[in-house]
Structure 1
């Protein structure tokens, strides 16, 4: 029997931790054990209201994760919802569980690629991620105390073997490969090592032991500095390629045999070339940070190109809505619905890339040299605050000097395209920053566009430190 309590003593919970893609905050400051308990209560109530009775729970390797996960679990069961403890596991394994176990719902406690003091939750209900208003609905449920009370049960289950066997059974490696892997002391290291052994791929592992203090570098492969050790090791060891995963293992980056970083939009080109001939006419989704060459390549191989908003939850929702066969983000999230489930999983994506590259007799650098490439910048971050970042994008969009002569794409932030270059400025949904990227025919084209952007930023926000 479930009975609702008239009133419970609920501490104030910061609405700011309910972000666009997930729940995230600084541990002990705005994300506490208490707040995790009540968020668990709200998740359990939401799951039951949607007609489900159980969810799976996993957590990453951060020092705070086991305790926060324990409080989430207590909240879920106090809501009358049963829970399956999967243990400390990569996010992709949790997503896999929502397709394979007897519940399509799950939560993973993870700070993803953020510094060690951060943590958070990614929530899946009916195999779809909660995002934006659906995440804020959890906050409002707590605020109005719409929190039925019950008594759920806990069970523990280890599905590592099933998960690794599912990937290994799908992948065919056609020739010997030597790979260097850097998992940044994140949670994916041990399983990534097991997977490569199963695939009979010779692998050297950097920082594959789990250490939530991240003593070597932040577990964020989108920052070029965090790939330096991998680049050096690939060249020094004469490896075919290097692979880097983020802190929770749902993103992957690639370094070729010459030590060059292959940005994820070009990794998506390689995947699309492989997938589309078997799936003609299907949609391919890519985010606003991605190469202008993707649309033509996708069309040339029989797919339908669609540019969309950045963010793993938003991308997965778009994948589902359009029945897309594959998608990718410049941050290194890939969504493969060909032979897989369409969720972002760095381990599976790495295995698919190895399969494709093993089918080529050319070196990895030669394979990627055949794909179109602009001169481009890495992602550029400019610090601001969580309120100003959104109003500033609106001001830039209305600035005719900035947008004159450009094709303007306001899908997510402001992307302006010219014949020889394009640039993007958008408000980060996870940090108090603007994020920018530029690409074009040559350095001169990029510099002209950066100057135009810098002048606009100076007009509207002279206090910002613009690093170009």
Structure 2
């Protein structure tokens, strides 16, 4: 056992309350600024709470891994120190993509693990994505961790748990290479944005028989080239240039912890995730006709139409990787996806969001097409409307949920069907508008889609009127 496991300072309940900012306990994970809201002491206490939950659930071992952020190693140590206090063992798999942690929980048959990751947040952030007994923690379960610590409902074992290190990356890469088969060799450009996907991405795609044009695959928590968030089109400029300058047929981009996928065509067009889902729907439903397909509230209205056209059952659900996993498990859906780029294959893979595996499955579909021209045509022909990217209204911490509650009370748009499973989505005959509170940052998230620019402007005007009524000083991005 490592000596650092006993570097523990007993902290009073009042002291714990000061250290545990309520703002780090998000709907899908724990996320905060390192050494400000997310301290080593806080992570150690959270580890103790997670170890207690594991002990109560009869889980003997947690798998722990981390992404490539500069704070990752010390936060993983603090987390481990807390977990073993409850008498629960730790398998430390080191610096790996977040989906590799999920894979490891199945490989080691623990069903339980934590990824120390800040995902696509700025470099000063970090956080925890957690699963226990086969289920991802979310919402109230995450908030309860804080309450458990503050109330002292923690189990401290007479004998601390043990810790061992394991290298799971070779098994993870082997599993993808054995599952995915390309119809022909391809040339692919990949951009890891200096995120942790770089420890595996090049080998994964070479094992599939690809020639790889790699960009920023050296892991660097400073993210010196561009931010690792493929949802923002400015972070795809380097990939677009690589596609212009090389023989690459398609471009794949991954976020900071490699659980999300971005796609760019040879001609530089960005295939946003709801259109990626459209491509996968046809493939998945061919093998499982009549199956449900889960997607989040930010996705195109064309997606549900396409799912029905291919004989599937569209299921719209809340945004957030933990909410999506619960719904996929509940419905038995073979596939689901979010507009953010989280894609969940539950047919031949483990049902978790995995950017590298999703990229491999994309190539499996596209490799059946004759050449780069056929690929580009196929992707560009996916149903598309006039739409905005994800738009944000920055607000004070905690204010976003209050404003959305007010928005919901006032949302009475003529001719629109209102859906409130996650914020307010107003579906019109010719488009939709969405306003919801972000699960990770203090912003209101907006998205609009319509058949034409006139309809888009009308829908935006409906939303503008409500926002200015509840927050006259709001700086609207549309």
Identify the TM-score tier after normalising by the shorter chain: over 0.9
TM-score computed with the length of structure 1 as normaliser: 0.96
Aligned to 2:3: none
Q: Which of the numbers 369, 380, 383 marks the counterpart of 1:369? A: 380
Name the CA distance, whole Å, in 2 between partners of 1:248 and 1:369: 28
- The Cα shift of 1:271 comes to 0.6
TM-score computed with the length of structure 2 as normaliser: 0.94
What are the equivalent positions in structure 2 for 1:47-446 lying under 5 Å apart?
47-150=54-157, 151-361=160-370, 363-399=374-410, 403-446=413-456
Name the CA distance, whole Å, in 2 between partners of 1:405 and 1:304: 25
Name the CA distance, whole Å, in 1 between partners of 2:247 and 2:164: 46
Q: Which of the numbers 462, 469, 472 marks the counterpart of 1:459? A: 469
> Is contact 1:39-1:142 (8 Å) kept?
yes
Secondary structure of the corresponding residue to residue 435 of structure 2: strand
- The Cα shift of 1:426 comes to 0.6
Higher deviation after alignment, 223-232 or 257-266: 223-232
Aligned to 1:19: 26
Name the CA distance, whole Å, in 2 between partners of 1:190 and 1:100: 19
Name the CA distance, whole Å, in 2 between partners of 1:398 and 1:8: 43
Deviations 1:157-201 (A, max 9, x none): 111111111100011111232211111110011200110111111
> Is contact 1:390-1:427 (8 Å) kept?
yes
Q: Any runs of at least 4 consecutive aligned residues in structure 1 with deviations exceeding 6 A, and if so which?
A: none
Name the CA distance, whole Å, in 1 between partners of 2:410 and 2:244: 46
> Is contact 1:238-1:257 (8 Å) kept?
no
Name the CA distance, whole Å, in 2 between partners of 1:269 and 1:78: 46
> Is contact 2:96-2:199 (8 Å) kept?
no
Name the CA distance, whole Å, in 1 between partners of 2:245 and 2:449: 30
**What is the RMSD computed on CA atoms of the aligned residues?**
1.3
Deviations 1:31-67 (A, max 9, x none): 0011111111110010010111111110010000100
Count of paired positions = 461
Q: Which of the numbers 7, 12, 32 marks the counterpart of 1:9? A: 12
- The Cα shift of 1:8 comes to 5.0
Deviations 1:381-440 (A, max 9, x none): 11012332122222222325x512211111111111112121111111111100111111
Deviations 1:234-263 (A, max 9, x none): 122242111010000100010011110001
Secondary structure of the corresponding residue to residue 301 of structure 2: coil
> Is contact 2:413-2:462 (8 Å) kept?
no
Name the CA distance, whole Å, in 2 between partners of 1:75 and 1:394: 37
